[in-house]
Amino acid sequence: MPGIQDHVRAILEQLGEDPDRDGLLKTPERVEKAYQFLTRGYQMDAAQVIGDALFEETHHNMVVVRDIEFYSLCEHHMLPFFGKAHVAYIPDGRIVGLSKMARVVDVFARRLQVQERMTDQVADALVESLHPLGVGVVLEAAHFCMMMRGVEKQGSKTITSALRGSFRDDARTREEFLRLVHNGTR
């Protein structure tokens, strides 16, 4: 069965390139390694990433981690999209190590994705692992499939949100979250 390198070589040939020229000799190998790295989220599980970084705590106020950089690949064109994730939750008896929130974002970003699904996946993973009173996730991203091809709109950003529990059901909680996330940057 042909591997990634064989397919990359065939793509180069279909584009009219010579895969045996100096600059392209190792390209199939490099592309394979790049895609393995860029899609390593398939080998990761959010619950395992969080692991035992859950701590009993009576804190019942919102915890927000803003501006978590992420990089992903659009599943429609396999072109990059990248941006920032803003993730929040209200604990219900336990908190999570802050770096774990960024790692959960990476679990889902490092897969072929659509931004809408990724937003829901991050929120749902936090709900499943933390059992919080609520979760809010906002992703802001620029998509190369809109920037480099098609409509070619370099300045556009896509914003998606996923609200669970009190973030969805309580307007004051939702407003506080959005105010903290945007912090006057709108």
pLDDT digits (tens, 9 = 90+) for 46-72: 999 999 999 999 998 999 999 999 999
List strands edge to edge, sheet with 134-143. Answer: 112-113, 63-74, 80-90, 134-143, 158-165
Domain assignment of residue 47, yes or no? no
- For this structure, is 121 an active site residue? no
Residues 59 and 147 in one domain: yes
Residues 72 and 101 in one domain: yes
- For this structure, is 59 an active site residue? no
- What's the pLDDT tens digit per position in 80-139? 999 999 999 999 999 999 999 999 999 999 999 999 999 999 999 999 999 999 999 999
- For this structure, is 60 an active site residue? no
Q: How many domains does the chain have?
A: 2
Residues 63 and 34 in one domain: no
Residues 6+ apart with CB under 8 A from 126: 46, 87, 89, 96, 101, 104, 132, 135, 137
**Can you give the pTM of this predicted structure?**
0.93
Residues 32 and 95 in one domain: no
Residues 95 and 13 in one domain: no
- What's the pLDDT tens digit per position in 162-178? 999 999 999 999 999 99
Domain assignment of residue 33, given as a range: 4-38
Which of 115, 121, 140, 176 does the annotation list as catalytic? Answer: 115
Which of 7, 59, 60, 76 does the annotation list as catalytic? Answer: 76
Residues 26 and 69 in one domain: no
Domain assignment of residue 45, yes or no? no
Which of 17, 77, 131, 182 does the annotation list as catalytic? Answer: 77
Which of 75, 116, 128, 175 does the annotation list as catalytic? Answer: 75
- What's the pLDDT tens digit per position in 139-160? 999 999 888 888 888 889 999 9
Question: At residue 175, what is the residue type?
Answer: E
Residues 145 and 81 in one domain: yes
- For this structure, is 74 an active site residue? yes
Residues 90 and 8 in one domain: no
The enclosing domain of 136 has a CATH number of 3.30.1130.10
Domain assignment of residue 87, yes or no? yes
- For this structure, is 43 an active site residue? no
Residues 58 and 34 in one domain: no
Question: At residue 11, what is the residue type?
Answer: I
Residues 57 and 22 in one domain: no
- For this structure, is 115 an active site residue? yes
- For this structure, is 75 an active site residue? yes
